[in-house]
C-alpha cells in the first residue's frame, strides 16, 4: 500500500515537473520569437527612416534631426527623377574622354516613391519616430565632419530602448549594440544589422 501511494505521489510530482519545464522552455522560445519579430519591425522602420533621410539630404542638402520636418517632407515634398548618361569619345590622339549628361526628367512625391503602401500597409507617419515594441522615439543625431578636406553631413539613428536584453551600448561586438544606422565618425548610412 505504501509503495502504491509513493508511486502515485512520484507520478504526480513528475508530471508537475514535466509541465513546469515544458512551460518554462516554451515561454522562453516564445519570448525569443517575439524579440526576433520585433527586431525585424525595428529594422524595417530604420530602413524607411534611412531612405527618407537620404532623400531629404538629396533634396535639402542636409540631414534633419527634427521628426516634424522629416514627417512633413515625407507627406508633402517631392524628389527629382534624374537621368544620368555617360558618353565616351575617342580623342584625335587616341585617349578617351567622358562626358556626363545629367537631365531632370520629372519629379515624384516622396509619399508615392519611398512610402510604398504595399511595403508599409500599416504605416502611420504620425508614429514614424517610434520604435516598434518599446514605443520610444529613435534617437537622431546629425553633424558635419571633415573628410578628405571636405565638410560632409553625417547621421546616426538608433533604437534607445531595444527589446532584446542582449543589445547594450557598451557591447564590444558591433551587431550586439542597439539597432542603428549611420555614424557620426565616418560617412556611412549602413545599419549594424547588415
Helix (H, G, I), strand (E, B) or coil at 153: strand
Residue 80 has pLDDT above 80, yes or no: yes
Give me the pLDDT at residue 45, please: 92
Provide the Cα torsion 32, 37, 41, 43; round to 10°.
60
User: What pTM value is reported for the model?
Assistant: 0.80
Give the span between the Cα atoms of 155 and 73, in whole angstroms: 17
Give the span between the Cα atoms of 98 and 23, in whole angstroms: 68
Percent of the chain with pLDDT over 70: 100
Give me the pLDDT at residue 156, please: 95
Q: Are 75 and 112 in contact (CB under 8 A)?
A: no
Give me the pLDDT at residue 181, please: 94
Provide the Cα torsion 27, 31, 32, 36; round to 10°.
150
Query: Which among 128, 161, 157, 129 has a CA at the least distance from the CA of 143?
Result: 157
Give me the pLDDT at residue 46, please: 93
Residue 105 has pLDDT above 80, yes or no: yes
Write down the domain spans for the chain. 2-67+117-182
Give me the pLDDT at residue 97, please: 84
Give me the pLDDT at residue 52, please: 93
pLDDT tens-digit series, residues 111-170: 888 887 777 777 888 888 999 988 899 999 999 999 888 999 999 999 988 888 888 787
Give me the pLDDT at residue 19, please: 86
> Stretch 163-179: mean pLDDT, rounded?
81
Give the span between the Cα atoms of 167 and 137, in whole angstroms: 17
> Stretch 2-17: mean pLDDT, rounded?
86
Q: Are 180 and 157 in contact (CB under 8 A)?
A: yes
Amino acid at each position: 500500500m505504501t509503495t502504491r501511494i509513493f508511486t502515485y505521489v512520484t507520478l504526480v510530482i513528475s508530471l508537475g515537473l514535466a509541465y513546469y519545464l515544458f512551460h518554462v522552455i516554451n515561454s522562453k522560445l516564445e519570448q525569443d520569437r517575439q524579440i526576433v519579430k520585433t527586431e525585424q519591425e525595428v529594422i524595417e522602420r530604420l530602413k524607411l527612416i534611412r531612405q527618407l533621410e537620404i532623400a531629404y539630404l538629396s533634396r535639402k542638402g542636409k540631414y534633419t534631426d527634427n521628426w516634424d520636418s522629416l514627417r512633413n517632407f515625407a507627406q508633402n515634398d517631392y524628389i527629382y527623377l534624374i537621368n544620368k548618361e555617360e558618353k565616351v569619345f575617342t580623342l584625335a590622339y587616341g585617349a578617351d574622354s567622358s562626358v556626363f549628361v545629367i537631365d531632370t526628367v520629372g519629379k515624384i512625391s516622396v509619399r508615392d516613391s519611398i512610402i510604398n503602401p504595399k511595403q508599409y500597409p500599416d504605416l502611420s507617419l504620425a508614429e514614424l519616430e517610434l520604435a516598434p515594441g518599446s514605443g520610444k522615439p529613435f534617437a537622431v543625431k546629425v553633424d558635419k565632419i571633415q573628410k578628405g578636406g571636405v565638410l560632409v553631413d553625417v547621421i546616426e539613428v538608433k533604437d534607445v530602448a531595444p527589446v532584446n536584453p542582449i543589445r547594450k551600448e557598451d557591447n564590444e561586438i558591433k551587431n550586439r549594440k542597439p539597432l542603428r544606422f549611420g555614424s557620426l565618425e565616418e560617412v556611412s548610412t549602413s545599419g549594424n544589422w547588415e
